[in-house]
Amino acid sequence: MKRLLVLGAGTAGTMIANKLRPRLDEREWKITLVDQNETHYYQPGLLFLPFGTYKREDLEKPKRRFIPAGVDLHMGEIDLVEPDKNQVKLVDGTELPYDYLIIATGTHPTPDETPGLDGDEWYKSIFDFYTIEGAEALAEKLETWEGGKLVVQIIEMPIKCPVAPLEFIFLADAFFAERGMRDSVQLEYVTPLPGAFTKPVAAKYLGDMLDDRKITLESDYFLERVEGDEHKLVSYDEREIDYDILVTIPVNMGSKYIERSGLGDELRHVPVDKRNFLSTKHDNIFALGDAAALPTSKAGSVAHFAVDIFTDNFLDYIQGKPMREEFDGHANCFIESGNGKGMLIDFNYDTEPLPGKYPLPGVGPFSLLQETEANHWGKLMFKWAYWNVLLEGRAMPIPALMSMAGKIREEV
Amino acid sequence: MATTTIAGAEVTVDEEGFMTEYEQWNEEIAAALATNIGIELGEDHWQVIKFLREDYKEQGETPMLRRVSNVGGVSTKELFQLFPKKPAKKMSYIAGVPKPHGCV
């Protein structure tokens, strides 16, 4: 009996189990998923929670509901991967041997990496919205807040869903306007990037959108510490920014067992071949989803496209054949821009987000890098698709590799 | 891509002026590139640049600030003093290695 062990039953791990179970003979292959908590959160929904659009119960479902028959879900905290023994040790002492290992334990906001961030003011005047606890605490704060200066600030790239902080500040603008208090709120967007976004064309569009909304942008800002008592950010080059509410995106890091096992980079993400996700160190270990150190977005869409490519490759690989499919870094993200509108971006390792129509060239229904109502509805409907189509590994009507069809090249 | 002459040597650069050929780099070129962006190279600068060169050769990609600090032993604070405002961009420019991935 061969053993495939998948660490993490989140977006990537669950899709892998669903895609591979029907294609690996149950008499020959045992598939085990390991996770330490029973609840699957719809992470794209966390963005809306601070504004009261969703509540916790709208975003959570039991992980087990999405695990197919014939796959064992083992609950436990991972202590160590021991590649020389081909086994994973759990904190409770359980040893799980494997023939092939897939690391899909994601990446996590890690506030204790930044001096002063998770001190006394954590969840009083400083919040994150990438965790259910942070998003809920922020919702409670915003409910009664009477105005002042709200700063959205990214500490270090890469972060998961890198457009979410922009979406947050667009939604905040619309939220305060709707409450009739936009004039008593100052909004500032603080980023270590040279502009609103990394790539030039998207940075120009998104930068204009910040301008239109009277949101100030502070770029190339690398935070050294937070002085929580003083409500102040201090950068490495001594620029100080004060705030009344700080919405921070803490440093994103992989799980600690990855570091203990010597499998990660400085951020505990696993270096892999960016074309096929095979570990650069071990030929029977793969990393997929946010856990992998790939030069593309950390996002569910990337995990989805990556798993599509991975599945066919893995079936060849275990038979000793070469992996023929090559991942291109395809990412596809809706950007909620407030007032019932949204944008869409579609890009890969080599092609930056460009304007145009998607997925049908010239037709859409979605518009790239343009604010439309259709994009907003696409984003809302995606929640249904996530739970009912995507996680269970059924086909989505979007190709895994990026296409240039429908995109318009543009000079900045 | 374009060819240009820096410190008497022919080198290939991209549209932002970053060198594209690792092997074309030498210390005279580094000094000239540093002058272009208003930096005079001292011992501490060289430590960073040499780390970038070696690490790029071993890892195949330009280290981020965090790695230069953790592995190269020069703190982020010092990097901001040595290469003001945009250390990641400036130090890779001088070291003749690609700009670190704009992680999207």
The answer to whether position A349 is within a domain reads: yes
Q: In total, how many domains does chain A have?
A: 3
Residue B103 scores a pLDDT above 70 = no
d(CA A172, CA A147): 12
Both A296 and A349 in one domain: the answer is: no
Strand-strand pairing, A216-218 and A223-227: unpaired
Residues 6+ apart with CB under 8 A from A88: A5, A7, A34, A78, A80, A81, A82, A95, A96, A98, A101
pTM of the model: 0.94
Both A200 and A288 in one domain: the answer is: no
Residue B53 forms contact with A (CB below 8 Å): no
Convert the pLDDT of each residue in B17-60 to its tens digit: 999 999 999 999 999 999 999 999 999 999 999 999 999 999 88
Q: Is A189 helix (H, G, I), strand (E, B) or coil?
A: strand
Both A155 and A100 in one domain: the answer is: no
Residues of chain A with C-beta less than 8 angstroms from the C-beta of B65: 222
Q: Which residue, A251, A269, A293, sits at the end of a domain?
A: A251
The answer to whether position A400 is within a domain reads: no
Convert the pLDDT of each residue in A299-352 to its tens digit: 999 999 999 999 999 999 999 999 999 999 999 999 999 999 999 999 999 898
d(CA A81, CA A98): 10
Residue B14 forms contact with A (CB below 8 Å): no
Convert the pLDDT of each residue in A364-405 to its tens digit: 899 999 999 999 999 888 999 999 999 999 888 888 999 998
CATH number at residue A198: 3.50.50.60
Strand-strand pairing, A29-35 and A71-75: parallel
The answer to whether position A189 is within a domain reads: yes
User: From the centroid of its chain, how far is CA A370?
Assistant: 22
The answer to whether position B74 is within a domain reads: yes
Task: Name the burial class of residue A345, with classes exposed (0-12), middle (13-18) and buried (19+) by CB atoms within 10 angstroms of its CB.
Answer: buried
Q: What is the pLDDT of residue A200?
A: 84
- How many Cβ pairs within 8 Å bridge chains A and B? 41
Cβ-contact A329, A178 below 8 angstroms: no
Interface contact flag, A198 B71, Cβ < 8 Å: no
d(CA A202, CA A162): 12
Closest chain B residue to the Cα of A348, Cα to Cα: B104
Averaged pLDDT of chain B:
92
Both A185 and A274 in one domain: the answer is: no
Among partner residues B67, B70, B80, which is closest to A236 by beta-carbon distance?
B80
Which one, of A251, A248, A316, lies nearest residue A278 by Cα?
A: A316
Residue A329 forms contact with B (CB below 8 Å): no
Distance from CA of A350 to the nearest CA of B (A): 11
Among partner residues B65, B84, B102, which is closest to A237 by beta-carbon distance?
B84
Out of B16, B38, B103, B104, the active site residue is B103
Instruction: Please report which helix (H) or strand (E) contains residue A165, including its range.
Output: helix A164-178
Residue B80 forms contact with A (CB below 8 Å): yes
Both A12 and A43 in one domain: the answer is: yes
- Residue B72: domain span: 2-95
Cβ-contact A385, A40 below 8 angstroms: no
> Partners of A203 in the beta sheet?
none
Closest chain A residue to the Cα of B102, Cα to Cα: A198
- Give, in order, the Cα–Cα distances in Å from B67 to each of A223, A295, A316, B60, B73: 16, 16, 36, 14, 9
Both A75 and A128 in one domain: the answer is: no
Instruction: Please report which helix (H) or strand (E) contains residue A108, including its range.
Output: strand A108-109
Based on its alpha-carbon atoms, the radius of gyration of chain B, rounded to whole angstroms, reads 13
Which one, of A50, A51, A62, lies nearest residue A130 by Cα?
A: A50
Averaged pLDDT of chain A:
95
Both A88 and A36 in one domain: the answer is: yes
- Matching residue, tokens 């054949």: A321
Among partner residues B85, B101, B103, which is closest to A237 by beta-carbon distance?
B85
B103 is catalytic: yes
Q: Which residue, A251, A280, A304, sits at the end of a domain?
A: A251
Which one, of A336, A329, A391, A407, lies nearest residue A167 by Cα?
A: A336
Both A156 and A205 in one domain: the answer is: yes
Interface contact flag, A199 B102, Cβ < 8 Å: yes
Tokens read off for B97 = 């290695």
Q: What is the pLDDT of residue A410?
A: 80
Q: What is the pLDDT of residue A85?
A: 98
Residue A188 confidence class, pLDDT cut points 50, 70, 90: very high
Residue A92 forms contact with B (CB below 8 Å): no
Residue A187 confidence class, pLDDT cut points 50, 70, 90: very high
Cβ-contact B64, B88 below 8 angstroms: yes
Q: What is the pLDDT of residue B20?
A: 94
Residue A412 confidence class, pLDDT cut points 50, 70, 90: low
Residue A350 forms contact with B (CB below 8 Å): no
In chain A, % of residues over pLDDT 70: 100
Angle in degrees, 0-180, between the axes of helices A164-178 and A200-212, rounded to the nearest 10: 20
Q: In total, how many domains does chain B have?
A: 1
Distance from CA of B101 to the nearest CA of A (A): 7
Q: What is the pLDDT of residue A20?
A: 98
Residue B103 forms contact with A (CB below 8 Å): yes
The answer to whether position B75 is within a domain reads: yes
The answer to whether position B28 is within a domain reads: yes
- Residue A215: domain span: 121-251
Angle in degrees, 0-180, between the axes of helices B87-95 and B27-36, rounded to the nearest 10: 140
Residue B68 scores a pLDDT above 90 = yes
Convert the pLDDT of each residue in A36-62 to its tens digit: 999 999 999 999 999 999 999 999 999
The answer to whether position B100 is within a domain reads: no
Q: What is the pLDDT of residue B104?
A: 43
Q: What's the mean pLDDT in B63-92?
A: 94
**Which residue type, as a one-letter code, is found at position A115?**
P
Both A156 and A260 in one domain: the answer is: no
ipTM of the complex: 0.86
Residue A225 scores a pLDDT above 80 = yes
Residue B102 scores a pLDDT above 80 = no
**Which residue type, as a one-letter code, is found at position A270?**
V
Both A145 and A259 in one domain: the answer is: no
Tokens read off for A342 = 């949204």
Phi (first) and psi of residue B24, to 5 degrees: -80, -10
d(CA A306, CA B99): 25
Closest chain B residue to the Cα of A164, Cα to Cα: B104
In chain A, % of residues over pLDDT 90: 92
Residue A279 forms contact with B (CB below 8 Å): no
Interface contact flag, B77 A224, Cβ < 8 Å: yes
Residue A141 scores a pLDDT above 80 = yes
- Residue A120 backbone class (left: φ over 0; alpha: ψ -120 to 50; beta: rest): alpha
Q: What is the pLDDT of residue A285?
A: 98
Both A229 and A350 in one domain: the answer is: no
Tokens read off for A29 = 């292959």
Residues of chain B with C-beta less than 8 angstroms from the C-beta of A194: 86
Closest chain B residue to the Cα of A158, Cα to Cα: B103
Both A292 and A171 in one domain: the answer is: no
The answer to whether position B46 is within a domain reads: yes
Q: What is the pLDDT of residue B72?
A: 94
d(CA A404, CA A348): 10
Q: What is the pLDDT of residue A395?
A: 86
Q: What is the pLDDT of residue A228?
A: 96
